[in-house]
């Protein structure tokens, strides 16, 4: 039995039918590399062997009505792979349009909490003979880094890698009484934890004000301009993606002496600026993003979600792409310094104090009353950058030709852009709500021109057109 951290559990409490908190990944596979060729039954056998070696895939949520603390992870004694692995065909003609519509529908469905919180959909009938796999995991069990690690554990560096040995979790089960009693023990110290956190919170506010006065603070919440994405979600999801050359991104970073993350953020800003200009909706002030920051190597707090976050100015009000990147990089440096000063465990510590009933009730009321349409926008977009391996990966024998990460969206912030580097490419996954942004491919297709603009600003680089050409291929 393993207790969820407050941050892990908060994703359970904040979930509603309109706000499913799934972390997804869309893999495009080349089945020609599979020894003996592609066969769904063989793929299932290989997946079963690897799931046996990864205990997290076989653990489910358990709780008790008497439990005052967060739920726990226990082994699912009735685990059945066939309740998680599904086979489906994309409608003809099987282009990126049909694939994205199908994946958007699948991503919008909440996971069944009576079993381990993940699903995998094998998608056949793609136009060029490839096979796609959509993996879904609940945010309570993974953040961007842990999701990538778990998927990587299903992969190998060669198409014919040997099967791993089975591994037990050691988590066991938990009776209703055990869950409740251990929960009581867990909340006894909460008042003291609150007293400990209040002074640091007051100090953080003072620091923020002092930094803001001298122009050294990251953007404050509720200062973002309102856009079409700052509204209440419906239960529908739209998905799109883009593909870029990592060498081009690195060349821009080197020429401008900035970080890869700065270039990624600038590409989001450039694509968003163009998209909103096309709709005559570009705000005069800069859009504001929130950037999850992994603290896996810096936090000693328990839990599967090991993240902090910082607010970032996208400087979409700057017309010149090169100047936008320079300005954005300087602002990111300030935001990183400010975020570090606030403490890497701030989000984890405060979320530990969350009350399940209160958070769940508040979120349902927030959605039902459409409050996201009324208050000032907290931020406009979530931007995540997940590093991946620089070499080819094989999923159950099939070479992964692309891997698009897809994060959740929230009421009031209906746009998520997650980026993953793999084998010399940068794969960009975009998620929104079609009722707010019905033409998400227009945004996705803006990433390649945004990179081209920055390459044009590099004197030593010849002009190169990057990414998908928008003709219906999957990039």
109 shares a domain with 94: yes
Would you say residue 216 lies in a domain?
Answer: yes
State how far the Cα of 434 lies from the Cα of 447, in Å rounded to an integer.
19
Tell me the CA distances in angstroms from 341 to 125, 203, 208, 310, 332, one per residue in order: 51, 10, 10, 11, 14
473 domain residue, yes or no? no
Same domain for 316 and 198: yes
Catalytic (active site) residue 463: no
Catalytic residue among 139, 274, 338, 411: 139
Residue 466 placed within a domain: no
Tokens of 109: 């469905």
Query: Is residue 452 over pLDDT 80?
Result: yes
Q: What angle do CA 22, 26, 32 make, to 5 degrees?
A: 150
Distance CA 466, CA 68 (A): 53
Three-point CA angle 403, 409, 413, nearest 5°: 130
Domain boundary among 171, 186, 201: 186
Shared domain check, 437 and 381: yes
* Whole-number Å distance between alpha carbons of 79 and 56: 12
Residue 462 domain flag: no
State the pLDDT at residue 460. Answer: 66
Of 132, 151, 186, the last residue of a domain is 186
- 147 and 64 in a single domain? The answer is yes
Within a domain: 396: no
Give per-residue pLDDT as tens, 100-157.
Answer: 999 999 999 999 999 999 999 999 999 999 999 999 999 999 998 899 889 989 999 9
Measured over all CA atoms, what is the biggest interatomic distance in the chain, rounded to whole angstroms?
69
Residues 180 and 194 in one domain: no
Instruction: Quote the tokens at residue 36.
Output: 């003996």
Same domain? For 213 and 301 the reply is: yes
pLDDT band (50, 70, 90) for residue 197: low
CATH code assigned at 257: 3.30.559.30
Tokens 């603290």 -> residue: 295
Beta-bridge mates of residue 122:
87, 133
Length, in residues, of the chain: 475
Note whether residue 469 is domain-resident.
no
Q: Is the model's pLDDT at 214 over the cut of 50? A: yes
- CB 453: neighbour CB atoms within 10 A? 19
- β-pairing, 307-313 vs 288-294, is antiparallel
* 350/430: higher pLDDT: 430
Please name every residue paired with 427 in a beta bridge, in sequence order, or none if there are none: 243, 420
Q: What is the DSSP annotation of 144-166?
A: HHHHHHHHHHTEESSTTPPPPPP
| 99 in a structural domain | yes
446, part of any domain: yes
Q: Is 410's pLDDT higher than 90? A: yes
| 412: confidence class by pLDDT, cuts 50, 70, 90 | very high
From first CA to last CA, the distance across the chain in angstroms is 43
Q: State whether 339 and 412 are in the same domain.
A: yes
Q: How confident is the model at residue 473 (pLDDT cuts 50, 70, 90)?
A: very low
Tokens of 292: 């999850």
Confidence at 172, pLDDT banded by 50, 70, 90: confident
Residues 259 and 172 in one domain: no
Q: Which residues contact 352 (CB under 8 A, 6 or more apart)?
A: 5, 6, 7, 190, 193, 301
Q: Percent of the chain scored above 70 by pLDDT?
A: 94
pLDDT in tens, 304-344: 999 999 999 999 999 999 999 999 999 999 999 998 888 87
Of 291, 302, 299, 294, which is closest to residue 352 (Cα–Cα)? 302
Instruction: Give the pLDDT band of residue 169 (cuts 50, 70, 90).
Output: confident
C-alpha to C-alpha distance for 20 and 9, rounded to whole angstroms: 14
Same domain, 214 and 175: no
Q: Are residues 365 and 234 in the same domain?
A: yes
DSSP line for 84-99: TEEEEEPPTT--HHHH
- What band does 178 get if pLDDT is binned at 50, 70 and 90? confident
pLDDT at 194: 64
pTM score of the predicted model: 0.92
Q: Which of 162, 186, 210 is the last residue of a domain?
A: 186
Which CATH number characterizes residue 57's domain? Answer: 3.30.559.10
Count: domains in the chain: 2
Whether 357 has a pLDDT exceeding 70, the answer reads: yes
Per residue in 225-266, pLDDT (tens digit) is: 999 999 999 999 999 999 999 999 999 999 999 999 999 999
The residue range of the domain holding 264 is 189-390+406-456
Q: Helix, strand, or coil here: 68?
A: coil
The predicted pLDDT at position 465 comes to 47
158, 277: one domain: no
Cα separation values, 471 from 83, 97, 401, 411, Å = 36, 10, 18, 32
107 and 225 housed in the same domain? no
């Amino acid at each position: 039995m393993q207790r969820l951290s407050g941050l892990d559990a908060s994703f359970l409490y904040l979930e509603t039918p309109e706000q499913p908190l799934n972390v997804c990944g869309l893999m495009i596979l080349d089945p020609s590399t599979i020894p003996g060729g592609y066969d769904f039954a063989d793929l299932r056998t290989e997946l079963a062997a690897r799931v046996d070696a990864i205990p997290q895939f076989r653990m489910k949520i358990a709780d008790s009505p008497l439990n005052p603390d967060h739920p726990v992870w226990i082994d699912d004694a009735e685990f059945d792979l066939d309740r998680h692995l599904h086979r489906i065909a994309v409608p003809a003609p099987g282009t990126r349009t049909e694939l994205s519509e199908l994946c958007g529908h699948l991503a919008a469905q909440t996971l069944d909490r009576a079993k381990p919180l993940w699903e995998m959909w094998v998608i056949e009938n793609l136009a060029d003979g490839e096979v796609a796999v959509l993996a879904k995991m609940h945010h309570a069990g993974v953040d961007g880094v842990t999701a990538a690690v778990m998927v990587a554990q299903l992969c190998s560096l060669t198409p014919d890698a040997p099967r791993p040995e089975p591994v037990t979790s050691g988590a066991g089960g938990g009776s209703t009484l055990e869950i409740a009693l251990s929960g009581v023990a867990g909340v006894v110290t909460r008042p003291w934890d609150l007293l400990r956190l209040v002074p640091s919170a007051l100090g953080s506010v003072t620091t923020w004000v002092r930094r803001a006065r001298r122009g050294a603070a990251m953007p404050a919440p509720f200062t973002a301009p309102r856009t079409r994405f700052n509204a209440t979600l419906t239960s529908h999801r739209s998905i799109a993606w883009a593909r870029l050359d990592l060498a081009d991104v690195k060349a821009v970073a080197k020429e401008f002496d900035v970080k890869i993350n700065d270039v990624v953020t600038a590409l989001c800003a450039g694509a968003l600026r163009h998209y909103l200009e096309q709709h005559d909706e570009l705000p005069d002030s800069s859009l504001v993003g929130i950037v999850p920051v992994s603290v896996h190597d810096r936090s000693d707090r328990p839990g599967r979600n090991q993240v902090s976050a910082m607010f970032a100015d996208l400087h979409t009000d700057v017309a010149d792409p090169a100047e936008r990147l320079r300005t954005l990089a300087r602002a990111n440096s300030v935001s990183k310094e400010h975020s570090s000063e606030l403490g890497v465990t701030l989000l984890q510590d405060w979320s530990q104090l969350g009350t399940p009933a209160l958070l769940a009730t508040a979120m349902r009321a927030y959605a039902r009353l459409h409050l996201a349409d009324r208050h000032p926008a907290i931020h406009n977009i979530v931007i995540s950058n997940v590093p991946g391996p620089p070499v080819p990966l094989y999923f159950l024998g099939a070479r992964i030709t692309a891997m698009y990460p897809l994060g959740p969206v929230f009421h009031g912030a209906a746009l998520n852009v997650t980026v993953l580097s793999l084998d010399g490419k940068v794969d960009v996954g975009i998620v929104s709500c079609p009722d707010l942004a019905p033409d998400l491919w227009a945004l996705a297709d803006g990433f390649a021109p945004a990179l081209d603009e920055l390459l044009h600003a590099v004197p030593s680089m010849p002009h190169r057109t990057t990414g998908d050409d928008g003709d219906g291929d999957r990039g």
